[in-house]
A and B are shown apart, each in its own frame.
Chain A
Amino acid sequence: MSAEQAVEQAYRDQWSRLLALLVTRLRRFDLAEDSLQGAYVAAARVWPEQGVPERPAAWLYASAYRRALDRVRREDADARRLPLLLTDPQPADVDEDGDVPDERLRLLFACCHPALRPDARAALMLRFVAGLTTAEIARLFLVTEPTMAARLTRAKAKMAAAGIPLRAPSAADLPGRLDVVLKVIYLIFTEGYRATAGPDLLRPRLAAEAIRLGYLVGELLPGEPRGVALLALMLLQHARRDARVAPDGTLVPLAEQDRDRWRHDEIARGRSLLGYLEAVPMAGEYHLQALIAAEHAGPAPPDWPRIARLYAELERRTGSPVVRLNRAVAVAESGSPDAALALLQGLDRALPGNHLLPAVRADLLTRLDRPGEARAAYDAALALVRTAPERAHLEARRSAL
C-alpha cells in the first residue's frame, strides 16, 4: 500500500472516531475539526517522505492534539472566554497499541439532543458521527455550503452555550433519547429514499449513510430492539432502490418493479434481523413498518389483508394520517376500494398540500369506475406534486382514464 493510500484509508477508517475523541477531549468542535483536518494534511505531506507510521491513528491523534494546543496558546482572551462543551468523565487517551477509544456514543446523543432543531440534529449527526464534510452534507440536503455551514455553526454554538453535555443519557432517559436518535436517522433515510423536492427521486448516498448510522447504533447499543427494527426497515426499503426509477427517470410502482434488480442479499439481511425480533414481545412502530416492507419484498402478490392489518395496528399506535392513507391503499388492494375511499374521509384537513392523498383518491375512483371524479383528483394531485418523475407518473395515469 502506498503512503497516499494509507492516508486515504486512515481517513475512511479513523476520521469520525478521531474527531469524536478530539471533540470530547478538547471540548470544542471548531478546534477538533480544524486540527484534525490539519493532521491529515500533514500526513499527506509527511508520510510519502518519511514512511507510513506504525500506528497511523495514534500519529494523527498526536499531530491533531499538538496543533490544537498550539492554536489555544496563540488565541486571544476573547476566544479563551468562549464556553467549552461539558463532558464527564474525561475520556481515555489513545492507548499504547494506537487504539482510538470510541467516543461516538456520547456524540450521537449530544447531536440528537431534544434542545436542538431537527434539521440541525441531522446535520450534526452526519458531520460528527458519520464524518461527512460540510460540503457533502450541503449537497445531500440540497442547500448551499454556506447555508449548511451556518446551520452547523449555530447548532455547535448552542450546544456549548446552553450546556448540552457530551454524555450518554442515564438509564432512565435512554428510551426517550434513543427515540430521538432513531428518528433523526430515519429522517436522514427518508430524505434519501423519497426526496421531497428536486429532479431526482432518490439520493441513495443519503439513505446509505442512514443505514451506516443504523449499524453504528447496533454496534454501540447492541441488541436494542428499536434500533434493530429501524435497521431492518431501512435495509428492506433500500434494497429496492435500483428498481424504483426507470431509465427515463420516472417512478416505477412496486408491482411493476423488476425484481431481479432488487438487492436480495440486503433483503435477506433485513429478514434475518426481523427473525431476531420475533422474541421481542411488543412490536414497536419501526418493527411494524419493517414487517410491512418485508411483505412487499416477498413473492408477488403480497399478502394485502395482512398489510392492511399491520397498517391498522400502526395507525392505532401513531394516529398518523399518512399511515391511514397507506392503510387505505392496502384495503383497496385487498379488494375493497369502496372501504378504502371511506378511510380517506377527513384526511384533507390533516394532510394539506400533500399530493399523495389526491393521487390515492384518484386511483380509488378509477377502480370504482368514476372517471370524472378521478380526473379532478388527478388534477388536484398534479397541482401539488413536487418531483418531476412523480409528475410524469401522475400525468400518464390521468391520460389513461
Chain B
Amino acid sequence: MQYALLIYGDEKVWADRDEREKRQNSERHAKYMAMLRSRNAMLGGEQLSPSATATTVRNGADGVGVTDGPYAETAEQIGGFYLIEAADLDEAIELARQLPEPIVEIRPLVYHPKS
C-alpha cells in the first residue's frame, strides 16, 4: 500500500532553530531517506514552506474566495511529507516511528486502478 506521512510540528520551534540544529535536522532526514530507499519504501517527499506563505482558496457557491494563510490556524502545521510504500499499516507505523519529527499523521493514498 501507499501512504503519506504528514509531518506536523510547532512552526515557532522550527523557525527558532539555529544553523547547527538545522544542519543536524537535515542530516537526520538524509539518513531517514537513505533508510527508506534501502527498503524500496521511498516514493517521494518534500519540505513545505511555513504556513505564513500559504494561500487558501475556497471554491464556494458564492464565487471564489482567496485568503491569506493556511486552512486551519493551529499551533501545529504540516511542515512536510513523505510518500512511502509499505506492506500494511503496521509497517507504515514502524516507518513513521523512525521519522525524526514530533507528530506524524499516516494517511493511506486512495488506489485508483487504471481502467
Contacts and interface: CB of A to CB of B under 8 A. Distances in A.
Interface of A: 77, 81, 83, 86, 88, 113, 115, 161-165, 167, 169, 173
A113 B93 CA distance: 12
Nearest to A86: B88
- Size class of the contact patch on chain B: 10 to 19
A163 B113 contact: no
Contacts of B108: 161-163
Interface in B66-107: 86-90, 92-93, 106
A164 B111 contact: no
B1 interface: yes
Contacts of A163: 1, 3, 86, 88-89, 92, 108
Given A86-B1, A163-B1, A173 B90 contact: yes
B113 A115 contact: no
Given A88-B87, A162-B106, 15 more contacts: A83-B111, A86-B1, A113-B89, A115-B89, A161-B108, A163-B86, A163-B108, A164-B88, A164-B89, A165-B88, A165-B89, A165-B90, A167-B90, A169-B90, A173-B90
A81 B89 CA distance: 19
Interface in B22-56: none
A81 B114 CA distance: 11
Interface of B: 1, 3, 86-90, 92-93, 106, 108, 111, 113, 115
B3 to A, nearest CB: 8
Contacts of B87: 86, 88, 165
Contact of A162 (B89, B111, B115): B89
A157 to B, nearest CB: 12
Contacts of A164: 88-90
14 contacts: A83-B111, A113-B89, A115-B93, A162-B89, A163-B1, A163-B3, A163-B86, A163-B108, A164-B88, A164-B90, A165-B88, A165-B89, A165-B90, A167-B90
A88 B90 CA distance: 13
Nearest to B115: A77
A105 to B, nearest CB: 15
Contacts of A83: 111
